[in-house]
With several copies, the nearest count.
Chain A
């Protein structure tokens, strides 16, 4: 029983990926990497966030993403560790872009490979929700009238606290 439990919770954190990058990412490459989480991989949940036209203001043409190098990666690793304590995760991959991002561009990717769908969904959504209120990124929104820093939303705080 002890051995079973150990096997059940074992995971190769070496396969986890955290990347903060200016370049675009390829969700398919991430998905294919998540599929390589061993023969007990039964569920892959992914989330991708995109720059949308209706932000805090209307007619968004792009974002500028600033971050706190070093701290950002450390916070995301903590979120993955927290998720791994609560749910059965085989592999976690988190990518977040920084710098200028035009309308329609990919901003963030969170992907979880797990044995069961409940763990994959929960870990993926938890990491996204917690990232939005605890990882040091700041979004400047650009539209026809100029640019402004996005304010943190109460709904994001509530979602994050609900976990």
Chain B
């Protein structure tokens, strides 16, 4: 069953998280009242390397390419990203 594009949002992973989860990008179904923190909880409940999203090293959150918090709302069409603290420069 294919989900309608308009019902979904994208999640991207970078750097160490991308490598340890083995996923670069995924598409998930949006639900009313969803927050980035809830998405993290749902993903962490998959177990294995995913548990680190709630119980591991700090995870930074972006929504639509702007820094966000766990309380930030997630809507259909959004681009979420989870990544380790940044280390450029």
The answer to A–B direct touch (Cβ < 8 A) is yes
A contact set with B: CB distance below 8 Å: 49, 65-68, 70-71, 74-75, 96, 107-108, 117, 128, 131-140, 149-152
- CA of A110 to CA of B15 in the docked complex: distance in angstroms? 24
Nearest CB on A from B58, distance (A): 8
| Residues in B24-76 with C-beta less than 8 Å from chain A | 60, 62, 65-67
On B, residues with C-beta under 8 Å from A are 12, 14-16, 60, 62, 65-67, 81, 83-89
27 cross-chain CB contacts under 8 A = A68-B62, A68-B65, A68-B83, A71-B66, A131-B89, A132-B87, A132-B89, A133-B85, A133-B86, A134-B67, A135-B86, A135-B88, A136-B81, A136-B86, A137-B86, A137-B87, A138-B15, A138-B84, A138-B86, A138-B87, A138-B88, A140-B15, A149-B16, A149-B84, A150-B87, A151-B85, A151-B87
Give the docked Cα–Cα distance between A56 and B86 (Å).
15
Is B88 a contact of A139 with CB atoms below 8 Å? yes
How far is B65's CA from A117's CA once the two chains are assembled, in angstroms?
Answer: 28
- A108–B86 CA distance with the chains assembled, in angstroms: 15
**Residues of B with C-beta under 8 A to A67:** 88
Instruction: Please determine whether A74 and B65 come into contact, CB atoms closer than 8 angstroms.
Output: yes
Query: Judging by beta carbons under 8 Å apart, are A70 and B88 in contact?
Result: no
**Alpha-carbon distance A85/B86, docked complex (angstroms):** 25
